[in-house]
Structure 1
């Protein structure tokens, strides 16, 4: 007589055994009544199991979902499940398991195996789903996935204690941490070698343009761009919003190591130091030995010397005051032809490489660079004396838009100011002494650069120029620099009373006149 159970009765015997083991192990089990859920049982550890050491308000329920498979006999070591069902339980935030009951042909228990759908097994499921997507094989309810339960499953005794211990060991004692880890794996598995890939058609306008593209100096502007989501090495067309927003992008060349760039002027000026990177690009120029990249410039070392190139400094890039000061000072040294450049600390125990530039520096504002560097350095000193901390970063154009900042630095910090004041002769110019003699006046104003504001005052000695019918400045004496004040006139009046000045030059009555002859109100 053959007492072997048919497959459907063997499955029912396994379900009955599972429910019985859960009840005896004090595990609350709920059987799924619909196959579309993907799981057979939802199992919950009772909250009392958390123990008295855990406060009531901090207890977290531990729940898992299980698909149960029953197999008969000693032969075979694999079970199969619908890919659609495994998809549903594997992506659930709760712990998910395939449990295999190995039974005798008559339905008596032999051994249990727990397959945890996390880590390698979750990765395997996600890869199968990605492969189906790439093949456009969306009928995953007709596909199956098999598991070698003896190889990948954790064996346990088919007893209440054996089942409970196997589940507890797999789930851990922190349900919240488990959920976070599973969500991370669902999002990141298969993307270890990157996420998005693109194929672009780009127009290259010569060797120099190609070099700039490879260094990340010039942007890649694709004429045609196709992007792919690459997971487990399998690509599918990318359909997200990122594609619509891409107009250009830049290459990030591989980094070999760090180095320090030191740019020196003559012996009596301080050097300027920059942290930079040594990068590798394809062999575009045969004589190139290495490339050094900084956010503001690149350096190519070749057999005949060093080649220096700035990177978009005067576009819309924003820098702090100190960063602009460093950069303009370095460019001043190089533009004047008296600078040298050293690549230091570019390799362990390597000798620093020092050389003058092979090619003369070219570019915008080179003639004005010394003046710009001086304006910024003086402005920094004025902020310090006024007790004002430099604010946010700013564009290079802000320097040109701050004439009064340059004037304040010239009047207060330059021993021989370039600025010159002239006023028309007027009746009553005699304040002290004889008519037509020199007079001393207090000039006051506000100066602003990139949102930072100071107030300042200067004593001006004005001497008559009879043939021109005017008074002209001949000497300046700094009086005060301070943070901005609410009432500029009151600020000036207080200084005038303290210094005994009877003549004040109101900035609203003055105009700036440049060498071209155009004038602007102060």
Structure 2
């Protein structure tokens, strides 16, 4: 429109809606758009220099420095990732940026300075550092956990170190069950007390999970099938998110209310379950590689 500056969004998220819960869209329609990480920093433009490199443009943010000269762009981290403290939102932006750069298909856009126009560079060189295999998994968990907090009307304010992610298995499971259409979580039972054994069993899973300074309570519908395993005769096939809210005081009462509201007679009490780590769960490292 005349007189208005063009809209320049720095993040675009698309959601499905299931039972009033917004779920991140998992299809391929927007694959060419992708996610972005945005940082505010300080920009310094050095004095004119003689060839061969000329003046240097320096951009500094708390976690990294970008040095730009005519022949090259250099990205350098500041300090050790194990020693810094960040909020959930700050960790999410940083780990998303590292995940994008690790793909070798990222781009870097520098904008916001009146002295130079907006410029974009490809980031196609490999990056080095610790936890390169684990960071994409942690990044996906963080984006999901932040979405669950938004749905529950919560916000985290705590600052914490990277080590906290090694203890987040239960929170990762909540994100996986509620937001991942192809959940990696699976429930297995030796037997199920069901009234209609001829139909595919359905049940309600309810639990509470905590991470950093935030805690949620949630419920999901669980679909089962009979397996060929002589010992573990029933296994889950998928989950359907039902509810997420701030942590409740009486989890058992919450489960009964959710089951009644959804007309489900099979309740899966988390206190009667044993959590087995996934194969790709980031281990607690003893050293950097």
State the TM bucket, normalised to the shorter chain: 0.7 to 0.9
**Contact map agreement 1:402 1:447 (CA 8 A) in 2:** no
Aligned to 2:120: 354
- Equivalents in 1 of 2:160, 2:59: separation in Å? 26
Q: Which residue, out of 87, 100, 108, partners 1:341?
A: 108
Task: Give the deviation of 1:467 after TM superposition.
Answer: 3.3
Equivalent residue number for residue 453 of structure 1 = 215
Q: How does 1:273-422 map to 2 (within 5 A)?
A: 273-279=38-44, 287=53, 289-312=56-79, 314-346=81-113, 348=115, 350-357=116-123, 359-422=125-188
Bigger radius of gyration: 1
Q: Which is strand-richer, 1 or 2?
A: 1
CA contact (8 A) 1:319 1:393 kept: yes
Distance 1:384 1:337 in 2: 31
Match of 1:495 among 242, 255, 258: 258
Matched, 1:484 2:239: no
1:298-326 alpha-carbon deviations (Å, 9 max, x no partner): 11213322111222352232212211222
Q: Give the match for residue 248 of structure 1.
A: none
Is the 1:332–1:369 contact (alpha carbons within 8 Å) kept by the matching residues of 2? yes
Alpha carbons of structure 1 residues 481 and 302: separation in structure 2 relative to 1, 3 Å: same
Q: Deviations over 1:40-60 (max 9, x none)?
A: xxxxxxxxxxxxxxxxxxxxx
Aligned residues of 2:207 and 2:270 also touching (Cα < 8 A): yes
Moved over 6 A (4+): 280-283
Deviations along 1:277-311, one digit per CA (max 9) or x if unpaired, are: 2347999xx84723221111111213322111222
* Unaligned residue ranges in structure 1 (runs of 5+): 1-261
How many angstroms apart in 2 are the aligned matches of 1:338 and 1:517? 24
Per-residue deviation, 1:486: 1.0
Determine the C-alpha separation between the residues in 1 that align with 2:80 and 2:187: 35
Do the aligned residues in 1 keep the contact of 2:106 with 2:124 (CA within 8 Å)?
Answer: no
Q: Tell me if the contact between 1:328 and 1:369 (Cα under 8 Å) persists in the aligned partners.
A: yes
Distance 1:392 1:326 in 2: 16
Separation of aligned partners in 2, 1:517 and 1:354: 34
- C-alpha distance in 1, partners of 2:72/2:37? 20
In the TM superposition, what is the alpha-carbon distance from 1:498 to its structure 2 partner? 2.3
Q: What corresponds to 1:143 in structure 2?
A: none
Note if 1:434 corresponds to 2:197: yes
Could you say if the C-alpha distance between residues 358 and 488 of structure 1 is closer, same or farther in structure 2, counting changes exceeding 3 Å?
A: closer
CA distance in 2, matches of 1:474, 1:358: 39
Contact 1:443 1:460 in 2 (8 A): yes
Alpha-carbon separation, structure 2, partners of 1:461 and 1:511: 19
Q: 3-state SS of the aligned residue for 1:304? A: coil
Distance 1:295 1:404, change over 3 A: same
CA deviations over 1:12-42 (Å, ceiling 9, x no partner): xxxxxxxxxxxxxxxxxxxxxxxxxxxxxxx
**Residues 1:443 and 2:210 aligned together:** no
Partner secondary structure for residue 275 of structure 2: strand
Query: C-alpha separation between the residues in 2 aligned to 1:358 and 1:370?
Result: 17
> Going by fraction, where is helix more abundant, 1 or 2?
1
RMSD: 2.9
How many residues are paired up? 250
Report the secondary structure of 2:142's partner residue. Answer: helix
User: What is the alpha-carbon distance in structure 2 between the residues aligned to residue 476 and residue 273 of structure 1?
Assistant: 33
Is the CA contact (8 Å cut-off) linking 2:193 and 2:266 kept in structure 1? no
8 A contact 1:461–1:474 mirrored in 2:
yes
Is 2:36 the partner of 1:271?
Answer: yes
Q: Deviations over 1:92-119 (max 9, x none)?
A: xxxxxxxxxxxxxxxxxxxxxxxxxxxx
Contact 1:305 1:355 in 2 (8 A): no
Gaps (5+ residues) in structure 2? 1-9, 13-30, 282-289
Is this contact kept in 2: 1:278–1:292, CA < 8 A?
Answer: yes
CA distance in 2: counterparts of 1:509 and 1:499, whole angstroms: 21
Per the alignment, residue 73 of structure 1 pairs with none
Helix, strand or coil for the counterpart of 2:139?
A: helix
